[in-house]
Structure 1
Amino acid sequence: MKAVTFYLIMFCDFKFILWINCEAELIREEKQKKRRRARRLGLFAISCRMRRKCLTRPGRT
């Protein structure tokens, strides 16, 4: 009976470790998505500013 209990505990620990690893991977993916979005928005803002500078003529406001 002790062996069964031991293996059951080991199995539960293994599943718990797998669950923690999956959660950590999901958190990493979410952070990467947020970084990509922020980078895209930053690049878009820079390109808009550059276009605005190119389109505005000197002497006009």
Structure 2
Amino acid sequence: MNRPLLRAPKSLRRRPYRASRAVIAHAPLEYSAERTAPRWLLVLASALAVLVVVELIVGLAVIA
């Protein structure tokens, strides 16, 4: 019997697994990485912390 093959419309056909993965791989990220603190801010905070520790040690030495 020679009957024509009926195909589903293109919108109803299932995409291959590889194609759907490729679409997911190129999706934009919703959450961007948090920005890190600038290097100068870390250096300044570290220097201030060292000064506070030195001042505490000097203060304890003067009291004793």
TM-score range, shorter chain: 0.3 to 0.5
Larger Rg: 2
Structure holding more helix per residue: 1
TM-score (norm 1): 0.44
TM-score (norm 2): 0.42
